[in-house]
Structure 1
Amino acid sequence: MTQIEGALERATAVEETGDGRYRVQLDPDWSVVGMLNGGYLNLPMARAAAYASPHPHVVAITTDYLSAPAAGEAEVRVDTLKTGKTVAYHRTTLVQNDVVTLSSSVITSRLSDEPADTYAREVPLPLVRPEDCRRVPVEIPGGLEYGLMRHVDLRMTPESEAAMTQSDGSLAVSGWVRAADGSPTDPYLALLAVDALPPVTRTIGRWGWAPTVQLSTYLRAVPAPGWLRAYMHGDFVSDGWFDEECTVYDENGQLVAQSRQLARVPR
């Protein structure tokens, strides 16, 4: 199976319609309780910027979610602010029915696909093997539908399942991520993975859609084939707001993505 045959590629593909203008069909399947997933919405923004850039990869993207776009046709507009030999800077907006719903700052460059010497302040603990973790279903407690899971094979660790079930207050979840249809693991899947896990507010008994307000992601390397392992934690839940940080590693233990987001607590 080639990358273009995968569901993720089809659901986030952009078609150039003019100078810096790209058409996208937002797929309703990539949703959480009926609302399009914030990580999914980042992908057409990133693809359009990479398409417009002389550099092949997105290395950083910060998106402000101004309003929730609906499934269906939308337009991504790309303004390239500066282009250098190794880095280019872009401003992208997602427009639907003449309304700007998302606005992103995107940096493009070239990611390495070779293992790099890395110094880390802290190395996360290994996870239980994915075959020993249960896949997150489409139907979740309370009669809610996690449509994203039709296309994402997400295996939460037993510890994370227990944390959510028991509302242990840990504000931490972790698990394994891959494309459900066997599509190759690539930087775009890593970009999705930072927002694929259930929100950490489930560990304090708050279920439902947690609207992302701002999401910043750094892509650090081209992932090796296979599973991605993702670690999510929050620091504070206060006055209806919470934060999350996520780090994503490939099967070789290479850091491939890291993110931080601000979101609203589910009602």
Structure 2
Amino acid sequence: MTRFDTATAVTASSAEGGYTADLDAGYLIGQAMNGGYMMAVMQRAALEASPHPHAVSSSFNFLRPAGAGPAAVETEVLKAGRTVATVRVTLRQAGKPCVTGTLATAEIDSGAVPEYAVAAPQLPPMARCRVYDPRAGAEEAPSFIRRVAQYYTEESWQRLRGRAAEPAPDLAGYLHVSEEDGGPACDDPALFLPLAVDALPPVVTVFGSWRWAPTVELTWHMRAVPQPGPLMFRARADAVNDGWFDETVDLWDVKGTLVAQSRQLARSDW
């Protein structure tokens, strides 16, 4: 079992639909747990409670930051159908709700061939991309970049470094579970998707140095079962206004299949 699998594991508690988790400090962003990591933990609990193996549509509201250490995860199956089951899930620390979500679960055929899907972008090989950590040099440790390896195209890297002629909020590259945590071929790549859609630095970083940008709401869809290996990403914003911004992330697997799409609304602390 890899560190990622251990870090997102849940254990059934005595309460009906209840689970416990031990949130891994390696997934902290400053003093708060990364939202995608918490979604991955909550998805594990929701799938334990569901009769179906995949979270095809997930919507989360982030109420307050969570820290490292023990957490309780509550699940409630709202409807268990033959094709789709809907599960409500809440993550709590010290009795207070931190994140709440609703997941529609089903089973996606791993051999299904898409009738239509947005093609993956034409990117240089991952070996020709560059690593970027917006928190490099900060006093916090360990760095989140050690949990999720991220590689950016030269154009995206220049934008993140504030060196682009036009700071467009549009980034592309690759990401995967770090080699230290299990590498690109972690035990179940589908379990990595909720972390992957929220693992990148805020796309508004291109407009200045990285700042705290908490997610308010995030919805993501699983479109196919990913093959083991790095995921290709494109992240972009359509509007940044009055302290709010949106962020859309698309992910493709090593075969170029669209496997996940997300959209979130967040605050920008500028």
TM-score range, shorter chain: over 0.9
Q: Can you list the C-alpha shifts for 1:85-128, whole angstroms capped at 9, x where unaligned?
A: 011001111111111111101111112211412323x5342111
Report the counterpart of residue 245 of structure 1 in structure 2. 248
Task: Say if 1:225 and 1:251, in contact at 8 Å, map to a contact too.
Answer: yes
Of 130, 135, 147, the residue aligned with 1:134 is 130
What amino acid maps onto 1:127 in structure 2? L
Task: Say if 1:217 and 1:257, in contact at 8 Å, map to a contact too.
Answer: yes
**Counterparts of 2:135 and 2:219, CA distance in 1:** 28
Aligned residues: 262
What amino acid maps onto 2:40 in structure 1? L
CA separation of 1:13/1:138 partners in 2, compared to 1, >3 Å: closer, same or farther? Answer: farther
Of 89, 96, 100, the residue aligned with 1:92 is 89
What amino acid maps onto 2:83 in structure 1? T
Task: Say if 1:138 and 1:145, in contact at 8 Å, map to a contact too.
Answer: no
What amino acid maps onto 1:42 in structure 2? M
Alignment TM-score, normalising by the size of structure 1: 0.92
Report the counterpart of residue 176 of structure 2 in structure 1. 178
**Counterparts of 1:123 and 1:144, CA distance in 2:** 38
Task: Say if 1:80 and 1:91, in contact at 8 Å, map to a contact too.
Answer: yes
In the TM superposition, residue 209 of structure 1 has moved relative to its aligned partner by 2.4
Report the counterpart of residue 222 of structure 1 in structure 2. 225
**Counterparts of 1:49 and 1:72, CA distance in 2:** 20
Report the counterpart of residue 153 of structure 1 in structure 2. 149
Aligned partner of residue 9 in structure 1, secondary structure: helix
Of 194, 213, 216, the residue aligned with 1:213 is 216
**Counterparts of 2:188 and 2:173, CA distance in 1:** 16
Task: Say if 1:139 and 1:146, in contact at 8 Å, map to a contact too.
Answer: no
Of 99, 108, 113, the residue aligned with 1:111 is 108
**Counterparts of 2:216 and 2:134, CA distance in 1:** 24
In the TM superposition, residue 194 of structure 1 has moved relative to its aligned partner by 0.9
What fraction of aligned residue pairs are identical, expressed as a percent? 36
**Counterparts of 1:236 and 1:187, CA distance in 2:** 30
- The gaps in structure 2 that reach 5 residues or longer are none
**Counterparts of 1:198 and 1:137, CA distance in 2:** 8
Q: Can you list the C-alpha shifts for 1:19-45, whole angstroms capped at 9, x where unaligned?
A: 200001111110223321111110111
